[in-house]
Every structure is written in structure tokens, then in C-alpha cells.
A and B are shown apart, each in its own frame.
Chain A
Amino acid sequence: TVQTDILKEYIAQKEWVYPPEAHMRIIRDLMIFCTKEMPKWNFISISGYHIREAGANAVQELAFTLADGFTYLELGKEAGLDVSKFAPRLSFFFNSCMNFFEEVAKFRAARRIWATVLKEKYGIKDERALLLRFHTQTSGASLMWQQPLNNLVRTSIEALAAVLGGTQSLHTNSYDEAWALPTEQAVKIALRTQQIIAEETGTTDTVDPLGGSYYVEWLTDEMEERAYVYLEKIESQGGVIEAIKKGYLQKEVADAAYRAQQRVENGKDVVVGANEYVDQDERPIDTLKIDAAAQKLQIERLRKLKEERDITKVRDSLRRLKAVYKDDAGNSMYEILRAVKAYATLQEIVDTGREVFGEWREPSIL
């Protein structure tokens, strides 16, 4: 899959360039292109991970991600695509944090809300098309620099929650997450964590093994209910994009982050090794060092590429891309691919969009 999801950028990760309508148009083009030319490609990974890392709580992660998902559903529908055909290619990407049962319930509530809305609002009958398929990453923000080996425990628990919540694929963080890019050894243990769960615990042998637990079912209902409250609030604001322009979603995330910070600072939330069970003699650990030569190497590669490519082809492709960007009915994917094949750089391609769409500045939420 490609990540593609721009809505979570405005909400949380903040890696956009153009205004929302422009990015959504490009995603529309990608959707149409893939539905026609690459029907087995998952062209989007609708993400809650980043929203959660930015400070949102579990209900917000659930609600905002699904709201984004419904927005992409509408985008494809408005573009004339058959919802039952492209809905199965909308994949999701969630976080897995430390509150074990809350996370399991969150994943279950996500699957249930998605299937319900697709069945009842969009009339999809094919059961396979009702599936919410998702990737999960264990939470980076939950890992502490203090007593880094504690993070092995945290990541294992978070990984297990994702497995019991029914994730299709899984990323486990390394224990030196809070220190640096991971060492080889740290990555290996992260991988082993998954392998041990997969091969030794038996937890992947049964679908939804926690189903029927009185607590997990209650919690799933609770999260679903609270998520619907947010979905309605977002609807009443005119949808996700309007809510983004108003700064509503961004402010919810920032407020939640502040409340979480306060709870840790006043000791209400215990973080083992960080605000309780603290070691007085923390020692630095060995971390990965990136060779400064890597930067020089890449700059040289780029220089050589620019020297050796056919600049006429590049300029021509960017001219064509600019023209199709200006024509809202055109599909920019074909011209983007032409530019890529001509060895236009990412900068040159994105700059072409800047010329047409401009740059977006987020609203102030402070």
C-alpha cells in the first residue's frame, strides 16, 4: 500500500503542501487510476496512528480515522466509482497503546462501525467488501528514554492487543525508540517479538478470541457509542475538511495532548521508570550513528542524475503535469508517472503543484 491519507496530515502529522481540495483531487485521481489500472493495489492507508501519537485519545483516534475513511468513500463515490468495487481497497492504519482492553475494543468497534455504515448507508451487500482491513503500529509515544528495556515489555503488550484486536499486519517498535533510529539489534528484537507471538502463543489461531468477554463487549459498545458522538459532531460542522479548516480536529488533538501531559506531570498517570520507579543513575545506551557521508552520497547521486537525464523530457512532462493540474477533470496520475519516468525529482513534481495550488497554512488553534 501507499499511505496517501492527507486528512490525517492536516489533523496530526502536519506534512501537507497544498490546500485540502488540491490534495483530495490528487487522491481522487489516484483512486480512479488504481481502480482501473491496478485493482489489487491498496492505494490508501487511512491512518489513526499519527492522530494518536499527536495526543488524541483512543475514542478520538477511532472516530477521526473513520471520519476520514467515510470522507474518502464519498470522494470515490463522487468521482463516479462503484463503492462496492473500491471500498475493499481502502485499508486502515491504527495505533496500539498501553491500555490493553481499550485498544482491543477500539479495533473491534472500528470494524463494526465501518461494516455497519457500509451496509446501511451505502447498501453494500458483498460481505468481503464490508471488511475493515488494517495495519497496526505499536505506540512510539508510549516508549520512554528512561530504562529503555522496559519498552520491550510495552511493545509486546501493545503487539498482543493488536493481534487480539484482529490486525492484518503489524509493526513493532524498537526499545531504543525514544533515543534514536534503532540499532540492528533493537530491530531484531522487535521482529522476534512478533515471531514469538505468532509462533509460540497460539493467539493467532482463533478469530476474535476475546469476543463474548463481558468486559470487552461492554467496552466495544462504549467506544462505538462515543465514536458516533464525534462522527455526528464532525458531520454537523460540514464534514472533515470543514472541521479541519476551522481547526476543530487539530484543537481536539492538542487539548487531549495537554490533558495527557498534565496527568503524567501530576502523577495521576503512572509511567513506570519515568515518573515512578525511577532509577537515579540512568546511563546512556549505545545508539545508531548515521554516517555523515550518507548526505554527501545522496547529493552526488542527485547531481549525477540531473546531469544524465534528458532535461527536455523532464520539462515537457512537468509542463503537461501543470496543464492537467489546472484542469480539474483530468487525471494527474498519468502525467505524474510520465514525469517520474523522465526522472523528474520529487521536488520538481511537488513544486509544479505549488505553482498551481499554492501552499496551505493551518489555522491558529492556540
Chain B
Amino acid sequence: MAGAIHSVDLPGGQKLSISSTKKVRILVAKPGLDGHDRGVLILCRALRDAGMEVIYSGLLPTPEEVAQMAIDEDVDVVALSLLNGAHLTAFPQVAQGIRNRGDNNIILVGGGIIPEEDKPLLEKQGISGNFGPGTSLATIIDHILTRVKDRG
């Protein structure tokens, strides 16, 4: 699909050039019992400033509810964040929930407190990124936009 090339301002001051036909729609969610929302609130703001349409799930959705939201909101990407150690359960449950609802296109990215050894397990289920503390917003945004571009 031919599209416009536009420039996106990243939080560190750099610029990223991307070509796209429409805004990326992204659902940001913390599936399960994790009310620590400082990270996701910052992420939502940065994603919006980078030109994406951001839907924030609000607190305490179940993985099933996140999957349903992803379908209802017709998003391109779901960004999942947890710090409570439940990522190996909750993230795949969201992925499975989306598949059960007949979608194979939605991109899943993860982040939070995720030990290195858990990342390959998540990636096997299609959940990429899995960014830990200290990751720059620019890196996260770049990763998301690249995955969207690659998917086409």
C-alpha cells in the first residue's frame, strides 16, 4: 500500500521517519492484578505524542477482557505490561484470547519486570519486545512501528 512518509517526534528529541497510510491503533493494558500504572500512563502519553491512537484499558482487566477489547477496538497492536511475575500466564492468555476470537493479525508487545529467561518463551507466543525498566520510550515506539511496518 502506498502511503505518506511522515516524521514522528520521539521523546528523547530524535525524529523517526515512517511511512504509513493510517494511524496505528494500540491498546495498552495491564492484564490481571497489577495496579502499578506509572509506566503505562507514561507510555500512553508517549505513544499518543508519537502519532498513534491509544486506547488504555483502565485497571484490572482480565486477560479475556483485554482480548475482547482488542477485537472491539479493532487495534493493530496490544501492548501488555506487568511487574508482578504473572507475565508467563497472563500475556499468553491474552494472545490465546485474541486467537480464539478469530484474529491472527494483531501484534503483541510486552514490557515490565520480565526476566531474560522468560523472553524466548513469550516470543514463541508472538509477544515481542518485553522491555524492562530503563528502556527508552524511543526504543519502544521504534519497535512497535517497525513491527507494524513489517506486518504491512
User: Nearest Cβ in chain B — how far from A138, in angstroms?
Assistant: 18
Contact with B along A43-57 (1 / 0, CB 8 A): 000000000011100
With A265-B136, A274-B134 known as contacts, the answer to whether A254 contacts B41 (CB < 8 A) is yes
Contact A14 B42 (CB under 8 A): no
Q: Which of B122-152 contact A (CB under 8 A)?
A: 132-134, 136-138
Contact A265 B137 (CB under 8 A): yes
Residues in B neighbouring A178, C-beta threshold 8 A: 133
8 contacts between A and B (CB under 8 A): A14-B59, A54-B37, A257-B41, A261-B137, A265-B12, A265-B138, A364-B58, A366-B56
Contact B11 A14 (CB under 8 A): no
With A265-B11, A362-B58 known as contacts, the answer to whether A14 contacts B37 (CB < 8 A) is yes
Residues in A neighbouring B45, C-beta threshold 8 A: 254, 258, 366
With A13-B35, A54-B38 known as contacts, the answer to whether A366 contacts B44 (CB < 8 A) is yes
B3 within 8 A of A: no
Q: Which of A246-274 contact B (CB under 8 A)?
A: 254, 257-258, 261-262, 265-266, 274
B13 within 8 A of A: yes
Contact A257 B44 (CB under 8 A): no
Contact B116 A366 (CB under 8 A): no
A53 to B132, CA, bound (A): 17
Question: Hey, which bits of chain B sit against chain A, CB under 8 A?
Answer: 11-13, 35-38, 41-42, 44-46, 48, 54, 56, 58-59, 116, 132-134, 136-138
User: Nearest Cβ in chain B — how far from A315, in angstroms?
Assistant: 27
A361 within 8 A of B: yes
A365 to B59, CA, bound (A): 13
A265 to B134, CA, bound (A): 9
With contacts A55-B42, A254-B45, A274-B134 known, what are 16 further pairs, Cβ within 8 A? Answer: A14-B37, A144-B133, A145-B133, A146-B134, A254-B38, A258-B41, A258-B42, A261-B11, A261-B137, A265-B11, A265-B136, A265-B138, A266-B11, A365-B41, A366-B44, A366-B48
Residues in A neighbouring B138, C-beta threshold 8 A: 265
Select A15's contact among B11, B35, B41, B48, beta carbons within 8 Å: B35
Question: Hey, which bits of chain A sit against chain B, CB under 8 A?
Answer: 13-15, 53-55, 144-146, 178, 254, 257-258, 261-262, 265-266, 274, 284, 361-362, 364-366
* CB-nearest residue of chain A to B54: A366
* CB-nearest residue of chain A to B139: A265
- Minimum-distance CB pairs A-B, first 5: A14-B35, A254-B41, A265-B12, A54-B38, A261-B42
Residues in B neighbouring A265, C-beta threshold 8 A: 11-12, 136-138
Residues in B neighbouring A362, C-beta threshold 8 A: 58-59
Question: DSSP class of A's interface residues: helix, strand, loop or mixed?
Answer: loop
A13 to B33, CA, bound (A): 12
Contact A262 B116 (CB under 8 A): no
User: Nearest Cβ in chain B — how far from A258, in angstroms?
Assistant: 5
A254 to B137, CA, bound (A): 16
Find the residue from A14, A265, A365 having the highest chain B CB count within 10 A: A265
Contact A144 B56 (CB under 8 A): no
A55 to B46, CA, bound (A): 15
* CB-nearest residue of chain B to A365: B41
Residues in A neighbouring B59, C-beta threshold 8 A: 14, 362
User: Nearest Cβ in chain A — how far from B50, in angstroms?
Assistant: 13
A13 to B37, CA, bound (A): 8
A362 to B134, CA, bound (A): 28
Select B134's contact among A55, A144, A284, beta carbons within 8 Å: A144
With A55-B38, A265-B11 known as contacts, the answer to whether A364 contacts B137 (CB < 8 A) is no
Contact B35 A284 (CB under 8 A): no
* CB-nearest residue of chain A to B85: A290
A261 to B135, CA, bound (A): 11
Residues in A neighbouring B42, C-beta threshold 8 A: 55, 254, 257-258, 261
Residues in B neighbouring A257, C-beta threshold 8 A: 38, 41-42
A178 to B115, CA, bound (A): 12
User: Nearest Cβ in chain A — how far from B53, in angstroms?
Assistant: 12
User: Nearest Cβ in chain B — how far from A35, in angstroms?
Assistant: 31
User: Nearest Cβ in chain A — how far from B78, in angstroms?
Assistant: 17
Residues in A neighbouring B41, C-beta threshold 8 A: 254, 257-258, 365-366
Residues in A neighbouring B132, C-beta threshold 8 A: 145
User: Nearest Cβ in chain B — how far from A86, in angstroms?
Assistant: 29
